[in-house]
Amino acid sequence: MRRRLLIAAIAVLLLGSGARADLSLVVIEYRVLTDLGQVRLTSTSLHDEAIQDRVVKNREKFERAGIVLVQAEVERVFARKERISSHTVETRLTIQPAVGRGFRGGLPTADLSVKVDGILRIDCPYDSGETELHDVAVLVTDGIIHLRGSFKDRTFDETVPLLGGKMIDRYWLMALAQ
């Protein structure tokens, strides 16, 4: 009898406490710092339910402000073209819906491409199974691209010169993991 009462009390406490799975949403903040000569993309996670609901319900408004939700029912593209000093920076984030199950299969993904002065400099996953970029800074007036993130669970913090034509892509990421 006491055991049933104890089990019932625990069930009421758990159900009444609003216990739920930990679910976070990923957003990528796109910022243009014209006076500093930079375009930056930074990712973060949202855990608060009220904030998650607000971002999901007002996705277009947030995207106009440069806050891109990595969530989609169908593929969508966030694209911007900026003029910084004498340079042009074209940024394209492609958000793809979840395609399956298992590790990362049940989560949406994001791919990033960046052209600087018409030359494709970045063409790689931003947030996918083995790639998680945390901070991408295109510093056109300094002539560099700075990336922080992880690939295959190995963290990196790399700077790539714009001169020299090096492409940041999946192969570049794989070479970091060696």
* pLDDT at residue 164 in the model: 79
* pLDDT at residue 121 in the model: 96
Query: Per-residue pLDDT for 44 more than 80?
Result: yes
Q: What is the pTM of this model?
A: 0.82
Which single residue is written with the structure tokens 């004498």? 86
The answer for residues whose C-beta is within 8 angstroms of residue 76's C-beta and 6 or more apart is: 94, 95
* pLDDT at residue 3 in the model: 46
The pLDDT mean for the chain works out to 84
Provide the H-helix boundaries in 29-169. 49-57, 59-64
Work out how many domains the chain is built from and give that number. 1
- 161 part of a folded domain: yes
> What CA–CA distance (Å, rounded) separates 98 from 152?
19
- Full domain range(s) for residue 162: 23-177
> What CA–CA distance (Å, rounded) separates 49 from 158?
34
What average pLDDT does the segment 17-22 reach? 39
- 121 part of a folded domain: yes
Q: Highest-confidence range of 23-32, 86-95, 120-129, by mean pLDDT?
A: 86-95
> What CA–CA distance (Å, rounded) separates 124 from 116?
15
- 7 part of a folded domain: no
What pairs with residue 133 in β-bridges?
Answer: 149
Name the phi and psi angles at 108, rounded to 5. -70, 160
H/E run at residue 82: strand 76-84
Select the more confidently predicted residue: 10 or 48. Answer: 48
- 3 part of a folded domain: no
- 68 part of a folded domain: yes
- Which tokens in the block code for residue 71? 């969530």
- 168 part of a folded domain: yes
* pLDDT at residue 174 in the model: 86
Q: Kind of pairing, strands 119-127 and 168-169? A: parallel
- 83 part of a folded domain: yes
What average pLDDT does the segment 40-52 reach? 93
- SS3 at position 11: helix
